[in-house]
Amino acid sequence: MVLYVVRHGETQFNVKKRYAGQTDVPLNERGIEQAKELAMKLAEEPFDIIVTSSLLRARMTAEQIAEYHREIPFVVMEAFREVCVGVYEGLTREEVQERYPELWARKCTRQLDDAPTGGETTRQCDARVAGGLATLKENYPEKNVLLVCHGFVSRVINRQLKGLSFEEMHEFSLGNCEVVKYEV
């Protein structure tokens, strides 16, 4: 399988540096333009399927790309939703530090088995994404798959496909509407 991983376009949460997590925010105007530009760049790529997270920002991005690939399947997979950051969702780092100083001091979003209250640990997210990747490998072994997902999920995918440690995972960053290609 050849896997193209795309991070969704820009949202107002990105602009204001707010934790989005699984909050279902749409693309902003710039994000829509980014998605349209990316769609044109990818128009000639021989995708066999487009897979997207169920969150609106990823779906909106994938739908722009699908405009140039109408003849191929479009699949929504919950496995590729962004990591849930619980009580951090909707807040900036400064707001989190002010409201949840003990959580912030624990650096729980960088820990393998810790998470903000109501959130998902890195290990839980990693397992969820691993299940999604296993499904893709099983269902599309010789195919070109485009996957639209999120920043943290793209780090998890990069870690898994490159055999990196959890610590090394955080060195990778995919910007809005950036693409990375993997031979799986």
Spans of all domains in the chain:
2-183
pTM: 0.96
Tokens of residue 84, six digits: 């849930």
Q: Of the listed 82, 89, 120, 150, which one is catalytic?
A: 82
Handedness of CA 123, 6, 67, 22 (dihedral sign): positive
**Catalytic residue list contains 170:** no
Residue 103's pLDDT is: 95
How high is the pLDDT of residue 170? 93
Burial 22-52 (b: 16+ CB within 10 A, else e): bbebbbbebbbebbbebbeebeeeebebbbb
Element (DSSP H or E) covering residue 113: none
**How many Cα atoms within 13 Å fall on the side-chain side of residue 141?**
1
182: phi then psi, degrees, rounded to nearest 5: -125, 140
Our answer to whether residue 167 is catalytic in this structure is: no
Q: Which pLDDT band, with edges at 50, 70 and 90, does 32 fall under?
A: very high
Q: Which CATH architecture fits 2-183?
A: 3-Layer(aba) Sandwich (3.40)
What pLDDT was estimated at residue 4? 98
Q: What is the mean pLDDT of the chain?
A: 97
